[in-house]
Amino acid sequence: MTEAIIEFDFIRYSFFAGILIGILAPLIGTFIVVRRLSLIADALSHVTLGGIAFGMLLTKVLAFTINPVWTGILFSVTGSLLIEKLRGVYKHYQELAIPIIMSLGIGLSVIFISFANGFNQDLFGYLFGSISAVTFNDILVITSIFILVLLFIGLLYKELFILSFDEEYASIIGVPKYVHLLFMLMVALVISASMRVVGILLVSSLITLPVASAMRLTRSYKALMLWSVIIGEMSVIIGLITAYYLDISPGGVIVMLLVVILIGSIMIKKNKEKGGVIYEDR
């Protein structure tokens, strides 16, 4: 494996991207899960799939190559803005915004994929991840998103923490509304960055499952973030290595590892936690 990493650029790119995504997805996932917005990741992943299919369709129609990653990011960001807009429209039923945008993403995906002559190997890689698909340009995009999200969390951690536990209280004490909007944009960017390694249809698992496992192992919010990243990183690295030797898509392997870890964490704590997780360290 070490020889392959040294010899082949695409292996090196995949592992570097995996290391960044293993940190990024669970980190943003802690805020998503605690806010009980886990399905947002699914909704935006389906919208991103629509963007990927649209990029492939444009390449076919315009007869010159358009990187589907950029159209995927565009659709994902637009989807996050629409969710935020609909949450304002349905003030008393804000959760409706998520299935509405998910339905939109699924519909657009089916239409664009049909016009683009259906599934092909490239689209399969976007759906379920691919070791060989990560390019140097992808690394630049993923690294930029990684730095941007870390800066966002570092600078606005206190506001995000308050927003995660009580949106109304956050509004009362004057947490700016743009913080939530920026948070939605960061989620969209993380999903777009993760699709190359994990796959669009499986990226929500990397965002939520490490957090679900970490919740069974800790009672501190900061420890929750740390353990989520450790679990996510471990699953990504082992998943990439396993997928390389078995010559299969890494997304499924990574998700199954996360499921095994989740089951293990539940079994460890099943007799110790009966009232849920209480976060003490703020």
pLDDT in tens, 144-156: 999 999 999 999 9
280 falls within a domain: no
Specify if 169 maps to a domain: yes
- Residues 22-77: pLDDT tens digits? 999 999 999 999 888 888 888 999 999 899 889 888 888 887 778 888 898 899 99
- The confidence score (pLDDT) of residue 29 equals 92
pLDDT band at residue 217 under the 50/70/90 scheme = confident
CATH of the domain at 258: 1.10.3470.10
pLDDT score recorded for residue 115? 84
pTM: 0.84
Pairwise pLDDT comparison (24 vs 166), residue with the higher score: 24
Confidence label for 168 from pLDDT (cuts 50, 70 and 90): confident
Give a yes or no: residue 275 inside a domain: no
281 assigned to some structural domain? no
In a domain, 279, yes or no: no
Boundaries of domain holding 128: 2-269
Q: What is the Cα–Cα distance from 11 to 17, expressed in whole angstroms?
A: 10
DSSP string computed for 177-193: HHHHHHHHHHHHHHHHH
Segment 110-135, tens digit of pLDDT: 898 888 776 666 777 788 777 777 88
The structural domain count of the chain equals: 1
Nearest to 145 by CA among 192, 88, 91: 192
pLDDT digits (tens, 9 = 90+) for 4-16: 666 667 788 888 9
Which of the residue ranges 102-111, 193-202, 273-282 would you say has the lowest mean pLDDT? 273-282
CA Rg value for the chain: 19
Least confident of 28-32, 225-229, 245-249: 245-249
Compute the distance between CA of residue 171 and CA of residue 77 in angstroms, rounded to an integer: 24
Show the CA angle centred on residue 49, arms to residues 196 and 78, nearest 5°: 105
Residue 5's pLDDT is 65
Among the listed ranges 73-77, 92-96, 107-111, 213-217, which one has the minimum average pLDDT value? 92-96
Q: 194-225 burial by CB neighbour count: b if 16+ within 10 A, else e?
A: bbbbbbbbbbbbbbbbbbbbbbbbbeebeebb
